[in-house]
Amino acid sequence: MQELPTQGYLAGKYLDYQARYRKEMRKSDGTLLTLVREMLEQYFPGRTDIRLADIGCSTGNFLFHLRQAEPQLRLYGRDIYPEAIAACQAVPELSGIDFGIWDVREPSRERFDILVLNALLHFFKEEELCNVMANLADSLLPGGVLLAFAWLNPFEQEIHIREFSAAHPNGAILNIHSYALIARLLAKNGFEPPRFTPFQIPIDLPLSEDPGDLRTYTVQTLGGDRLHFRGAIFEPVCHVCVRKKP
């Protein structure tokens, strides 16, 4: 039996966190948006019929900002939780965006030009990830583009962490896969070689004095890079950009 992601993504502090980024776009989302623009210019110039789906869309924040930036896109939000989808459908600011349920571990009959996976890949252990990649590949049209923001590492190392915290009493899952595994699964499913870009955040995210506050904070290295942490966990965040072979 496959494990569901924690219900902690539907309530409490997590929704407060999402509400903040409805007003002010997250820096990593800004980079994702730039990648969407680059892909549109490079692979879909002049097209006004592009279908973009945000998988694991949660409160629809990324789609909200994307619609303002690229109003010609046909936008779709998919999430495993009916409650998350119903909440998006009830928000007037998100009207016109097509929201629906999709557990990406299952195949879908829908087809898109661009898929966005924002903080989703870490849920899946290697064996699940094989199915997920196949399902994502099937739901992309030939020449379509997959963009992700994810916790991935450049070493030959597959990491599985289970965090028990107030927001996730049953355990939140954090798989930190290697670039090599992701590249291998993408190649197996008909994608071109991916580009991995470690995310360099341009601002400091403060460390809270409340040890129960697990929002990401940054620590600067002597070289000036900012490392991301969630509580005691180092987060090797990066963007992935890859095209399905035409």
In the complex, which residues of this chain contact ligand SAM (CB under 6 A)? Answer: 5, 9, 55-58, 79-81, 84, 102-105, 118-120, 123
Q: How far is the CB of 46 from ligand SAM (least distance, A)?
A: 29
Considering beta carbons, is residue 24 or 156 the nearer one to ligand SAM?
A: 24
What tokens appear for 76 in the block?
Answer: 């779709």
Q: Which is nearer to ligand SAM, 5 or 144 (CB)?
A: 5
- Paired tokens of 204: 């400091």
Nearest-angstrom CA–CA distance, 109 and 51: 14
- Provide the residue type at 88 as one letter: C
Nearest approach, Cβ of 79 to ligand SAM (angstroms)? 5
CB of 223 to ligand SAM, least distance (A): 28
The β-bridge partners of 145 are: 114, 243
In whole angstroms, the minimum distance from the beta carbon of 131 to ligand SAM comes to: 10
Query: Between residues 76 and 102, which has the closer beta carbon with respect to ligand SAM?
Result: 102
- Give every strand in the sheet of 233-235, ordered side by side: 217-220, 226-230, 233-235
Residue number with CB closer to ligand SAM (39 or 80): 80
The residue with its CB nearest to ligand SAM is: 56
Phi-psi region of 38 (alpha: psi -120 to 50; beta: other; left: phi over 0): alpha
Look at residues 104, 100, 50, 94 and name the one whose alpha carbon lies nearest to residue 77. 100
Alpha carbons 246 and 143: distance in angstroms, whole number: 4
Task: Please name which of 112, 133, 18 lies closest in space to residue 65, comparing C-alpha atoms.
Answer: 18
User: Considering beta carbons, is residue 100 or 190 the nearer one to ligand SAM?
Assistant: 100
State in angstroms the smallest separation of the CB of 194 from ligand SAM: 19
